[in-house]
């Protein structure tokens, strides 16, 4: 069974390791580190939204100033909020885009999408 805590820990560890590859990251001031973490995380969120056809400004709006709490920079539409809540609750799973071959031998692409788990 899918474990949210383990999944988030894996993502956090991968993100932490990626930040360590930035030259002199550990020697930066905390505010500079914060800007890099914030920009990197926002880029990650944008890429995920693009992958799943979510609309910036509707499903995600970054309207807070640089001096506002980083934990609150994601503001979601009700549709996106429910989608992410169900994902984190383990009620849906993400299906990545992939190619399939039908019984008749025709190849076709299945777009990335979410599937409810019964």
What are 11-37's pLDDT values in tens digits? 788 888 888 888 888 898 888 888 888
Q: How many domains does the chain have?
A: 1
In which domain, by residue range, is 12 found?
A: 4-93
| pLDDT at 101 (0 to 100) | 92
> Tens of pLDDT along 43-53?
887 777 778 78
Q: Which residues of 89-116 are buried (b: 16+ CB within 10 A; e: fewer)?
A: eeebeeeeeeeeeeeeeeeeeeeeeeee
Residue 77 lies in a domain: yes
Highest mean pLDDT among 64-68, 92-96, 101-105: 101-105
Residue 73 lies in a domain: yes
Residue 100 lies in a domain: no
Residue 106 lies in a domain: no
Between CA 43 and CA 34 the distance in angstroms is: 14
- Percent helix, strand, coil in the chain, to 5, is 45, 15, 35
E strands along the chain, which residues? 92-95, 98-101, 107-110, 113-116
Residue 108 lies in a domain: no
pLDDT band at 69 (very low <50, low <70, confident <90, very high): very low
| pLDDT at 75 (0 to 100) | 47
| pLDDT at 7 (0 to 100) | 72
Residue 101 lies in a domain: no
At 58 the three-state DSSP class reads: coil
pLDDT greater than 60 at residue 2? no
């Amino acid at each position: 069974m899918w474990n949210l805590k383990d999944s988030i820990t894996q993502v956090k560890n991968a993100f932490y390791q990626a930040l360590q590859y930035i030259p002199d990251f550990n020697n930066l001031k905390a505010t500079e580190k914060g800007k890099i973490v914030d920009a990197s995380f926002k880029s990650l969120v944008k890429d995920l939204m693009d992958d799943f056809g979510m609309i910036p400004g509707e499903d995600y709006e970054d309207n807070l100033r640089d001096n506002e709490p980083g934990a609150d920079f994601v503001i979601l539409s009700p549709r996106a909020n429910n989608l992410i809540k169900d994902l984190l609750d383990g009620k849906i799973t993400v299906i990545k885009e992939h190619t399939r071959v039908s019984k008749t031998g025709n190849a076709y692409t299945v777009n990335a999408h979410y599937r409810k788990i019964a």
